[in-house]
């Protein structure tokens, strides 16, 4: 009888610094140091043991597989909130000569993954977070919301099994479903930008799923998929391109179905770290 590798069911997430390659060497080192400290602080606040994360560093970000049994709720709630707050504080500071603005794209997924690959983590689930993180819908959202510091995209599994089931924040209504097309594969994913109303971002219309449902509550019976629904807390006000929470606005919510996965290589330097390794 042959022993076959058994994948482990894990939470996977990745963050990437926007526009990293345009910075000079000193600015990149400053960004790396700032990001590393922010991740440590946010993990501590969320009671996530970052020293137990399996990590691959790529200079402009990190790809991590969290320990078995990691609770997704504090990752999506406290960790994301603290990371966004730290980015806001850093971006207002501007006192270092090598300072440059730090914006992040973050992706979260969950699934079975092999941890014993010869050159990294093989498998269809291992590549999905990087694809979501680098996807056009997330880039479009960050481009439209220039004041945002953090953009988050989660897989349909994270949205369906954790976001819609509660407890904690962010609520499902704060996410916008999108379709990610990359490398001949199609994924339904969900975007979230802390403090901003994604549902009024016109640039995302091209990425909306066209039919079906994907987790959470379906549209009301008198509102077919794709119809206009008021954004919670907007008071039913008029449209606004600013997208900031608390303002008016409506949302065109389209629900989509299905995910497809494929195997591929993971970007970065392929070095896997465990513990307190830091780049830069």
Average pLDDT on 54-61 reads 84
Determine contact, residues 222/168, Cβ cutoff 8 Å. Answer: no
Three-state SS at 17: strand
Average pLDDT on 183-200 reads 92
Average pLDDT on 243-251 reads 45
What pLDDT score was predicted for residue 167?
84
Three-state SS at 63: strand
Average pLDDT on 253-274 reads 37
What pLDDT score was predicted for residue 5?
75
pLDDT tens readout for residues 109-164: 999 988 876 566 666 788 889 999 999 999 999 999 999 999 999 999 999 999 99
Helix (H) or strand (E) holding 16: strand 8-17
Query: Residue 68: exposed, middle, or buried by beta-carbon count in 10 A (0-12, 13-18, 19+)?
Result: exposed
What pLDDT score was predicted for residue 161?
95
| Range among 1-15, 26-40, 45-59, 91-105 with highest mean pLDDT value | 26-40
Determine contact, residues 62/266, Cβ cutoff 8 Å. Answer: no
What pLDDT score was predicted for residue 110?
95
Rounded Cα gap, residues 31 and 128, in angstroms: 25
pTM score, two decimals?
A: 0.75
Helix 25-45 crosses helix 80-93 at what angle (to 10 degrees)? 140
The owner of tokens 């609520």 is 171
| Range among 47-51, 189-193, 209-213, 240-244 with highest mean pLDDT value | 189-193
* Beta strand ranges found along 123-244 (DSSP E): 150-155, 176-182, 185-192, 228-230
Query: Residue 225: exposed, middle, or buried by beta-carbon count in 10 A (0-12, 13-18, 19+)?
Result: middle
pLDDT tens readout for residues 215-236: 333 334 344 333 333 343 333 3
Phi first, then psi: give them for residue 196, nearest 5 degrees. Answer: -125, 150
Rounded Cα gap, residues 269 and 250, in angstroms: 43
pLDDT confidence band for 183 (50 / 70 / 90): confident
What pLDDT score was predicted for residue 223?
40
């Amino acid at each position: 009888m042959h022993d076959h590798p058994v994948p482990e069911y894990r939470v996977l997430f990745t963050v990437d610094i926007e526009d990293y390659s345009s910075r000079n060497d000193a600015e990149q080192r400053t960004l790396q140091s700032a990001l590393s400290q922010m991740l440590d602080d946010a993990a501590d606040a969320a009671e996530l043991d970052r020293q137990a994360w399996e990590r691959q560093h790529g200079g402009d970000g990190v790809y991590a597989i969290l320990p078995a049994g990691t609770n997704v709720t504090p990752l999506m709630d406290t960790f994301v909130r603290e990371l966004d707050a730290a980015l806001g504080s850093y971006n207002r500071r501007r006192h270092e000569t090598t300072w440059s603005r730090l914006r992040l794209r973050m992706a979260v997924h969950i699934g079975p993954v092999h941890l014993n690959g010869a050159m990294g983590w093989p498998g269809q689930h291992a590549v999905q977070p990087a694809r979501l993180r680098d996807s056009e819908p997330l880039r479009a959202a960050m481009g439209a919301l220039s004041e945002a510091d953090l953009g988050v995209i989660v897989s349909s599994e994270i949205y369906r099994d954790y976001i819609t089931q509660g407890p904690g924040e962010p609520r499902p209504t704060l996410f916008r479903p999108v379709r990610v097309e990359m490398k001949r594969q199609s994924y339904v994913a969900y975007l979230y930008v802390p403090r901003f109303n994604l549902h009024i971002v016109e640039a995302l219309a091209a990425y909306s799923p066209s039919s079906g449902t994907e987790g959470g509550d379906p549209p009301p019976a008198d509102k077919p998929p794709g119809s206009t629904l008021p954004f919670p807390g907007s008071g039913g006000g008029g449209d606004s391109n600013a997208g900031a929470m608390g303002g008016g606005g409506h949302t065109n919510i389209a629900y989509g179905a299905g995910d497809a996965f494929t195997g591929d290589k993971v970007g970065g330097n392929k070095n896997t770290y465990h513990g307190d390794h830091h780049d830069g």
